Structure 1
Amino acid sequence: MIEFLARVFIRGRESLSPSALRQAYGQLCGAVGIGLNLLLFAVKFFAGSVSGSIAITADAFNNLSDAGSSLVTLLGFRLAGRKPDPEHPFGHGRMEYISGLVVSGLILLMGVELGKSSLEKILHPEEVTSSVLVLAILAISIGVKLYMFYYNRAVGKKIHSTAMGATAMDSLSDAVSTAAVLVATLVGQFTGLMIDGWVGLLVALFILYSAYKSAQDTLSPLLGQTPDPEFVKHIQEIVLSYPEVQNVHDLIVHDYGPGRVIISLHAEVSASGNLLELHDVIDNIEHRLQKELGCVAVIHMDPIVTDDPETQRLRMAVAEKVKTIDPQLTIHDFRIVPGPTHTNLIFDTVVPYGVKLDRVQVQKRIGELVRELGEQYFAVVQIDNSYVL
């Protein structure tokens, strides 16, 4: 159905840019989600009222919160697609994350209210009546939610949207919770056990957990999360595929919303190379990264000595020494400044998060290890943090 609606409502899909196509699919799925969830809310609320089941009513309001989520998601995609302006030169892509955070708050409020109603039903249980119509409504609801899981997952993969992927898993979870309500209704019908309030409480707890996960998924990119390791690996493979580049470091991925990524990195090149030729290579790498990964790339050239055996020997020796502190430590921008009484070994050391020693301790230990290479050597170390995994 989604592809049929896409053919009807997304005209000229072949000529749309990736970001425009992504926005169109996101809005379409949001609109379909609103319609289906409102329909499910209406029929479940009717079934809950007829049967007196708090579990069915709770599940109905779960679908109402899902409709609100779809509405906010639709608005988020629409606002995120606005063009950059003087006040927001990086665009409005993070509105998609902000809309997700608003949805999380709505879901949280709904879960709290439904939890209160379920506790009241547990303390004061009432008999639940069911009918073929009520059971049919629940069964059809499960089928609809499974369909929503399928199309959200398919579209999420098509447009590379983690938000759509999360929506797909939410639909699958809704199908499971509705199945639990269906089981509780059948149990009450055939055994007389009044577990309706308990199942309603389980559904409320599930809604609260969904709110927590949703908030976590949206807060993380807003705060600035580490990039996908596969994305980082792809960047490094592209840059290092050029023989002029010896190494890559200080890689940072700046996320301004889906499809709005800026990357910056330092590329080590030979200090004896032709400056204009190396600059041309760096330009080509930046253009290739933009074309293949859809990101803006800014690359800083770091000249390093590659044709001096003594520099190479000391660099390798220092790198091995540093790894004895922690295998995760690496060095870059290594150079030698000799003097009449001592020689400075100047380099940067990357200390990833999770290393037990702090920056001062690492600097001190490196200085001690460098002196082991010879009393004339002194370490001048700049400590860097790693912004990728």
Structure 2
Amino acid sequence: MVTALAKIFLKDVKMNDSQGRKAYGTLCSVVGIFLNICLFVGKYFAGVLTGAISITADAFNNLSDAGSSIITLVGFWFAGKKPDTEHPFGHGRFEYVSGMAVSCLIILMGLELAKSSVDKIIHPQELESSILAITILLISICVKLYMAFYNTGIGKKIDSVTMKATAIDSLSDSVATTVVLICVLVNMKFGINIDGICGLLVAILIIYAGIGAFKDTISPLLGKIPEPELVDKIHDIVMKHELVYGIHDLVVHDYGPGRMMISLHTEVPGNENVYKLHDMIDNIESELQEKIGCEAVIHMDPIEVDNQVVTDTRSKVENIVKSIDEHMSIHDFRMITGDTHTNLIFDVVVPFCVEKKHDEIKNNIEEKISELDDKYRVVMKIEEDYIGN
């Protein structure tokens, strides 16, 4: 259905820009609203027919999904708005906000259904088995699996956290409906009423799916680390240029899907022509924009590349830092030699996985460097790692 509608209404729309994301998000949301309302009507009728709280609970779960699709639709419309004077980075994060609202609605619905199911366990009621109800539940499972399929596919293509969360919700709904179907079949075959228990299981699945979706949508708002694949791609693009000897201080700023800015430092030879280096940096920034779709700001850090003493000393300091914790690294290494002592100036990157305190790390490094040569004086800055290495 979605593919056919896309060919009719979105045949000239590209997926990889903001307007394309908005168009495909709108289409999937409208289809989701329509299908979920149909499922609600069918299941509610089946629930009234059989008196099963598990079926009625599943029906209202579909109704909440329709409401979620409406919120998703609004989210895509706001996220697709162009940047303005008050929001120069666009409105892309509104998609994350709408996804968070969807997940909260899912959790609340799950809690309400859990309450109703517990009441049914305490006060069970006789159920009426129906072939029609079974047919409706089977159709519902198939529809929800289809919704999970198309939301997953398009969610990956347009990189939408909200649609991926909707896909997970649809998949959990199909599992929940399967549980309800088992409840009806057990009652029909053996006369055993497990309606309240099945309703509670459905509620737990709904709550679990809602919590998972909440985590997926709140993380980008808080500022999560970039995906390793993205970091590797940036590294490969920058490091392929022969005058780049290293990169560090990479920071990825996510303002919503398709709205990403990055900043990083490159180590370049200090004896090279500055205009040549500046031209290279301009080319790297353009390449990052073309291949990754991000705005890049690159800072140049000059280093000595033809001084063997500096190279050897840097290697020794790197080994010292690695001996304290293999996850740490250094950059911007310089040596300033004086009459009485030599300053070793460098930055140490400490990932969040390193448990030692910064003062302890600094003291350990200073002690070990003093063992190399008592004339060495350490001028060190400790930095956090923003890419999760």
Asked if these proteins are the same fold (TM beyond 0.5), I'd say: yes
The answer to whether the 8 A contact 2:226-2:252 is kept is yes
Q: Distance in 2 between matches of 1:17 and 1:220?
A: 23
Query: Equivalent residue for 1:128?
Result: 127
SS of 1:258's equivalent in the other structure is coil
* Matching of residue 41 in structure 1 with residue 63 in structure 2: no
Q: Distance in 2 between matches of 1:142 and 1:107?
A: 18
* Matching of residue 374 in structure 1 with residue 380 in structure 2: no
Shift of 1:349: 0.3
Shift of 1:17: 6.0
* Matching of residue 13 in structure 1 with residue 13 in structure 2: yes
Shift of 1:38: 0.9
Shift of 1:301: 0.6
SS of 1:126's equivalent in the other structure is coil
Q: Distance in 1 between matches of 2:162 and 2:301?
A: 38
* Matching of residue 137 in structure 1 with residue 123 in structure 2: no
Q: Distance in 1 between matches of 2:18 and 2:239?
A: 28
The number of equivalent residue pairs is 388
Shift of 1:11: 5.0
The answer to whether the 8 A contact 2:161-2:217 is kept is no
Q: Distance in 1 between matches of 2:308 and 2:76?
A: 56
Q: Distance in 1 between matches of 2:353 and 2:117?
A: 43
Query: Equivalent residue for 2:302?
Result: 303
Letter in 1 for 2:238: V
Percent identity over the alignment is: 54
Q: Distance in 2 between matches of 1:207 and 1:65?
A: 11
Q: Distance in 2 between matches of 1:348 and 1:169?
A: 43
Query: Equivalent residue for 2:345?
Result: 346
Distance 1:79 1:126, change over 3 A: same
Letter in 2 for 1:13: V
Q: Distance in 1 between matches of 2:265 and 2:338?
A: 28
Q: Distance in 1 between matches of 2:175 and 2:45?
A: 20
Q: Distance in 2 between matches of 1:143 and 1:112?
A: 25
Shift of 1:167: 1.8
SS of 1:245's equivalent in the other structure is coil
SS of 1:379's equivalent in the other structure is strand
Letter in 2 for 1:219: I
Letter in 1 for 2:4: F
Q: Distance in 1 between matches of 2:131 and 2:193?
A: 19
Q: Distance in 1 between matches of 2:174 and 2:233?
A: 37
SS of 2:372's equivalent in the other structure is coil
Matches within 5 A, 1:82-161: 82-161=81-160
Letter in 2 for 1:10: L
Distance 1:287 1:147, change over 3 A: same
Query: Equivalent residue for 1:203?
Result: 202
Give the alignment's Cα RMSD to 1 decimal: 1.1
Name stretches of at least 5 consecutive residues in structure 2 with no aligned partner.
none
Q: Distance in 2 between matches of 1:308 and 1:187?
A: 81
Q: Distance in 2 between matches of 1:314 and 1:27?
A: 59
Q: Deviations over 1:93-147 (max 9, x none)?
A: 0000000111122112211111111011000001111211111000000111111
The answer to whether the 8 A contact 2:172-2:206 is kept is no
Shift of 1:162: 3.2
Q: Greater CA deviation, 59-68 or 134-143? A: 59-68
Matches within 5 A, 1:1-389: 1-10=1-10, 12-13=12-13, 18-389=17-388
Shift of 1:26: 0.9
Q: Distance in 2 between matches of 1:13 and 1:134?
A: 41
Normalising by structure 2, we get a TM-score of 0.98
Letter in 2 for 1:57: T
Normalising by structure 1, we get a TM-score of 0.98
Q: Distance in 2 between matches of 1:142 and 1:110?
A: 19
Q: Distance in 1 between matches of 2:321 and 2:368?
A: 8
Q: Distance in 1 between matches of 2:145 and 2:349?
A: 47
Q: Deviations over 1:46-69 (max 9, x none)?
A: 111111000001111111111111
SS of 1:178's equivalent in the other structure is helix
4+ long deviations beyond 6 Å: none
